[in-house]
Amino acid sequence: MAILPEPVWTSAQDVACELEPSSISSTDTRPSIITGALLKILQSHFSRAGNIHNEQLRQAIWRPETADEDEQSQMHIEPWRAYDATHLQQRPALYVSRGPVGTQRIALRDRALTKQSTRTGNVDGVDYMKLIVAKHQIICCSAKSDMAADKLAEEAFYMLTEYGPAIQRDFKLGGFHVVAITQSQKIEDDHENYMVGVQIVWTNAHGWKLKPIAPILKGIGFVAT
């Protein structure tokens, strides 16, 4: 069994992908963070031939884009929004695409805990919690053949399966599961290129508190007599 070095993250910002913090952001792992993490993991894996299990893929080394023709990357690894059919004429590509993000109830009326102030008797706030269920897909593309795209997908599938426990732990996820490799198909509106998807499902508990600003008596009317 191969022994894999675990990925190292210095901070969440290192893997953020166009994340715009705001005053209502929480410390929960958001889908954009996972998009950035998947990009970095794939880029790191394909940056060294020794990492790649399939010997036929060891010539397709990823490098950061540069103007030096001798140091050009042999593979594209980008977000799906950067897809360009002309890129595939020379090099294969892996694209990270975020899928649907939804919620599931894990507590009655989504409530976790209600706190009451011992000094005033007013409600100090209500804690809520929902389970976030999200999907990502690694879209593996090649202009050579459907078999070439399938080999890329197989490499990504097994690598992410093996790193799954480390990703789940480091990003404090409820679960991280690489669930399927899709059938190969020609890309819609671009019938010269083939694509195969690697489907990922992950979960995360999202919690927040609603705290009343006014006291409970705000809804009671008083009439002078």
Question: Which helix (DSSP H) or strand (DSSP E) does residue 129 occupy?
Answer: strand 123-142
Report the interhelical angle of 31-45 vs 146-170 (nearest 10°): 120
Residue 175: CA count within 13 A, CB half-sphere: 12
Chain mean pLDDT for the chain: 78
Give the closest residue to 92 by CA, choosing from 57, 68, 45.
57
Q: What are the boundaries of each domain within the chain?
A: 28-212
For the chain, the straight-line distance linking the first and the last C-alpha, in angstroms and rounded, comes to 85
Checking if the pLDDT of 24 tops 90, the result is: no
Residue 97 or residue 7, greater confidence: 97
What's the confidence (pLDDT) of residue 27?
Answer: 47
Global pTM value:
0.75
Q: What's the pLDDT band for 14 if we cut at 50, 70, 90?
A: very low
Fold of 28-212: Alpha-Beta Plaits (3.30.70)
Q: What are phi and psi of 142, to 5 degrees?
A: -155, 145
Least confident of 5-9, 107-111, 150-154, 202-206: 5-9
Q: What is the pLDDT of residues 44-83, one digit of tens each?
A: 999 999 999 999 888 889 988 765 655 678 888 999 998 8
